[in-house]
Amino acid sequence: MSEVHEALGLPVPIVPPPTVTRAMTATRRALGRTQDRMTVPFQVVFDRMFGLLDNKALFIAVELGVPDVLEAGPLPVGRLAEETGADEDALDRVLRYLASRGVFRLGPDGRYANNAVTDVLRRNHPWSWRAWVLLIGSPWNWDIWKNLEVRVRGEGSATEAAHGCDFFTYVNERDPAAGAAFNEAMASGSRVQALLFAEHYDFEGVRHVCDVGGGSGSVLARVLTAHPALRGTLLELPALAADAARVFSETGVAERAEFVAGDFFESVPAGCDLYLLFSVIHDWGDEECARILQTVARAMKPGSRLAVVEPHIERGAAGNFAKATDLLMLAFTDDGRERTLSEFAALWRRAGLTERRRIVLPSLFDVFELVVASNS
Ligand SMILES: C[S@@+](CC[C@H](N)C(=O)[O-])C[C@H]1O[C@@H](n2cnc3c(N)ncnc32)[C@H](O)[C@@H]1O
């Protein structure tokens, strides 16, 4: 089993090409729509409305460490309550609901067990998604969602209404626990994308890579691990320095990786062969994106490339992941958004960049490879 299989949790030892993944996603959505058409409308409404129950129940189970306790094997709820310090009856009702939604297995003997879904929520799973559940279900995050209507009415930012400051000030300066949860979730998601990027992107001719807004360095560490001849620079806000030092040392790349504290609106290290903007552009409005891209373009030498890694919004009602993460941007940021391919193209033009090619990763995230227009 390859690392990509483990990371994606694929049941068979084949990584489907993006066209197949896209077709499978479309089929799944079509089946979901057929299921809706076979259901009376008010039940569809209830199913959507109860999304908050899924979120909260999942958060509680993961925060209590239920998937970790169940790693040793199935348990009756009484033992689970003892191990997690929870109220037995309440825990049973939460887990029973989750099992009815395909999260945890409830056996005929009344014992709960992990299934493939909850297995990836264990703390020690090598590709754990636990941090995402803790991020999206946390009370400070719910406070932001409670204020989404402020944003939709055009009365300001949801995060500002909830916490009195913008998202990055909140997570980086106001609430260290929220900051740790956010950075861990970003790192766990990006580690998977980085694994795919490191395998599918052509690093020919690249010796020095700069990850701009690279979080705690997990993407850069993965790229450097996969390509031992590369050196790397991580450009981030100063608050991320300690986390990055830990990631570089734990992954054994500290000698080839440096942390540069800075602001990507002002300047980034000059003269690298490859610049990365991994899940950064979607945090910002067009104006700010153009400034970030122009800052990177100024730092690029002839022959440098910039790889922007983001998913794109598909047209019409086609279901896609980016339409969900777009709502995260709506809640967390002032002007951040996911973009269609033509919106991305307009951004590149505005920043004086040319798209040389677009590579689609098996996760359906796009890698837009850009060069400075006057050098292309
Ligand atoms: C959505 S996170 C993506 C992190 C990372 N690229 C990844 O994929 O895991 C955006 C990152 O941009 C960083 N950031 C925000 N404003 C910044 C600025 N003005 N200069 C540099 N980095 C910034 C944040 O600290 C955060 O780590």
Q: What is the pLDDT of residues 202-217, one digit of tens each?
A: 999 999 999 999 999 9
In this structure, the residue with its CA closest to atom 12 of ligand 1 is: 213
Identify the CATH number of the domain defined by range 148-375: 3.40.50.150
pLDDT band at 277 (very low <50, low <70, confident <90, very high): very high
Q: Which residue has the higher pLDDT, 65 or 362?
A: 65
In this predicted structure, what is the pLDDT of residue 1?
62
What pLDDT is attached to residue 316?
81
Ligand 1 atom having least distance to the Cα of 264: 20
Interval 256-271 mean pLDDT: 97
- Would you say residue 190 has pLDDT above 90? no
Is 273 in contact with 205 (CB distance < 8 Å)? yes
- pLDDT digit string (tens) for 99-126? 999 999 999 999 999 999 999 999 999 9
Centre of ligand 1 to C-alpha 115, Å, is 34
- Averaged pLDDT of the chain: 93
Q: Which of 237, 240, 243 maximizes ligand 1 atoms within 8 Å of its Cβ, making it the mutation to test the pocket?
A: 237
Which tokens hold the place of 205? 């001719």
pLDDT of the residue at 33: 87
Biggest CA pair distance of the chain = 69
> Hey, which residues are catalytic here?
282
Domain residue spans of the chain:
12-122, 148-375
Q: Span 12-122: which CATH code? A: 1.10.10.10
Q: Whose CA is nearest to atom 4 of ligand 1?
A: 215
Q: Which of 34-43, 70-79, 310-319, 339-348 has the lowest mean pLDDT?
A: 310-319
* Residue 70 reports pLDDT greater than 70: yes
Task: Indicate if the pLDDT at residue 376 is higher than 70.
Answer: no
If one counts every other C-beta atom within 10 angstroms of the C-beta of residue 340, the result is 14
Percent of the chain scoring above 90 in pLDDT: 78
What's the pLDDT score for residue 198?
92
Q: Give ligand 1 pocket residues (Cβ under 6 A).
A: 168, 186-187, 190, 213-215, 219, 236-237, 240, 263-265, 278-280, 283
- pLDDT range class, residue 29, cuts 50, 70, 90: confident
Q: Among 236, 259, 266, 335, which is best to mutate for testing ligand 1, by the most ligand atoms less than 8 A from CB?
A: 236
Q: How much is the average pLDDT of 17-37? A: 85
Give yes or no for residue 11 having a pLDDT over 80: no
Q: Which residues of 181-191 are buried (b: 16+ CB within 10 A; e: fewer)?
A: bbbbbbbbbbb
Please tell me the residue having the least CA distance from ligand 1 atom 10: 280
Say if 12-122 and 148-375 have the same CATH topology.
Answer: no
What's the whole-model pTM score? 0.88
68 Cα to the center of ligand 1, angstroms: 30
Is the per-residue pLDDT at 58 higher than 70? Answer: yes
Q: Which residue's CA is the closest to the ligand 1 atom numbered 14?
A: 213
Q: Residue 189 — pLDDT band, cuts 50, 70, 90?
A: confident
